[in-house]
Homo-oligomer: A and B are copies of this chain.
Amino acid sequence: MKATFYEGNQSISVGPCIPVPPAAGQVQIRVSYCGICGTDLHIYLGHMDKRVKMPQIMGHEMSGKIEILGDGVTNWKVGDTVTVRPLDACNECPACKAGNSHVCQKLKFIGIDTPGAMQALWTVPAHTLHRLPAGLSMAHAALIEPIAVACHDVRMGAVKAGEYCVVLGGGPIGVLVALVAKSKGAHVLVSEINPFRIELCKQLGLEAVDPRTVDLVEKVNADTGDAGADVVFEVSGSLAGAETMTKLPRVRGRIVLVAIFAQPTPVDLFRFFWREVKLIGARVYEPQDFDEAIALLAAGEVPFTKIITDVYPMSQLKKGFEEMASGGNVMKILIDCAEV
């Protein structure tokens, strides 16, 4: 039984997994698969060295089977297949008390602020569990967490059938947002500069353009009879995205801010005034977003699983990070955590 460790300075090691016996209210899970998230890449690149405790076991996009139940855990049994909503709220801060515990002011993100899922056996609070439907592929189930992000983003944007949406940034989250928005009956345009990702979007049935060769503002205005987009999802985290996001919405249109901007960024605030545009910050997910993600994935009608471009053994985790960092021909990479 193995575990992977981030040791700083873009160093990854694979060593023995030391299982943690579940305390009361916890479960131990035998992990099947764990996707590599963009946040994991940030950790690998050293951007979060102040937050993580090295050696850090990363990973929070996972599927697995319950191995051991801690005391007092009801409604679950050994062998149940699950995924984890990796949020541990304090339940005491003003945000928690107001019913927004997913954005708890002292939120512990499991797998960042605590050990993560890229190991054979993972111990987490039972309140984080969501049940997998019978028959769902364990590899596919590792997509539930990022699909839940997308469900949350689309819900925060209140996307309705017939609306015109633009997704700025066609990485894994952007593509999942696009697919979920499309599943609501919206028309979705993805703006992305990586040719591999543009091509993958097209294979997924999404309209995708390179904003360096297509004038997005002209295209959106032409497509919408000069109204502008109903909803813009900024998922790129780029200066160009922050500049473009304000140019596209219609009067009273919405911008959903999904990306993480590390620095204050120039924004054309005039456009918010001029067109009464809303900017809506969206972070992680609530339980209902996980439920929706599981239902959408299990229904099999949306081609989410085509974003899985590679499944690597733990020993190739570093290779996965390097491919992601190089902007290569990858979308979502899964790590097989069940290897002996």
Instruction: List B contacts of A52 (CB < 8 A).
Output: none
Residues in chain B near residue A260, CB distance under 8 A = 270, 273
> Which residues from chain B contact A261 at a C-beta distance below 8 Å?
268-270, 273
Contact check, A103 vs B242: say whether CB atoms are below 8 A apart.
no
Interface 0/1 of A273-284, CB less than 8 Å to B: 111111111110
Tell me the minimal C-beta distance from A84 to chain B in angstroms: 21
Cross-chain contact A103 with B276 (CB below 8 angstroms)? yes
Report the Cα distance A274→B225, complex, angstroms.
35
Interchain CB contact under 8 A, A224 and B269: no
- Smallest beta-carbon distance A281→chain B, Å: 3
B residues less than 8 Å from A267 (CB atoms): 264-267, 269
User: In the complex, how many angstroms separate the beta carbon of A328 from the nearest chain B beta carbon?
Assistant: 27
Chain B binder among A35-43, A251-259, A307-315: A251-259
**Segment among A23-31, A92-100, A165-173 that sits at the interface with chain B:** A92-100
Contact B264 A227 (CB under 8 A): no
**Known interface pairs A94-B250, A95-B227, A95-B250; A276-B266 also in contact (CB < 8 Å):** no
Q: Are B262 and A272 in contact (CB under 8 A)?
A: no
Tell me, rounded to whole Å, the shortest Cβ–Cβ distance linking A338 to chain B.
Answer: 33
Bound-state CA distance A227–B104 (Å) is 11
- Asked if A271 is at the interface (CB within 8 A of a chain B CB), the reply is yes
**Closest residue to A245 on the B side, CB-wise?**
B269
- Give Cα A258–Cα B274 distance, bound, in whole angstroms: 10
Tell me, in angstroms, the Cα distance from A264 to B269 when the chains sit together: 6
The listed residue (B94, B250, B259, B270) touching A273 by CB distance below 8 A is B259
**Are A280 and B278 in touch, CB under 8 angstroms?**
yes
Contact, CB under 8 Å: B252 / A273: no
The answer to whether the Cβ of A105 comes within 8 Å of any Cβ in the partner chain is yes
A268 to B100, CA, bound (A): 21
Q: Are A252 and B103 in contact, CB atoms less than 8 angstroms apart?
A: yes
Contact of A283 among B93, B100, B243, B274 (CB under 8 A): B274
Q: Is A323 an interface residue (CB 8 A)?
A: no
List the 7 closest A-B pairs by CB distance, nearest first: A272-B281, A94-B227, A95-B251, A279-B279, A261-B269, A264-B266, A267-B267
Besides A94-B227, A95-B252, A262-B270, 9 new A-B residue pairs in contact (Cβ under 8 A), listed by A number? A94-B225, A95-B250, A100-B251, A100-B276, A103-B274, A243-B264, A264-B267, A277-B281, A278-B278
**Interface residues, chain A, CB within 8 Å of chain B?**
93-95, 98, 100, 103, 105, 156, 224-228, 242-243, 250-252, 257-262, 264-283
Chain A to chain B contacts (Cβ below 8 Å), 6 pairs: A94-B250, A257-B273, A258-B273, A272-B281, A274-B281, A275-B281
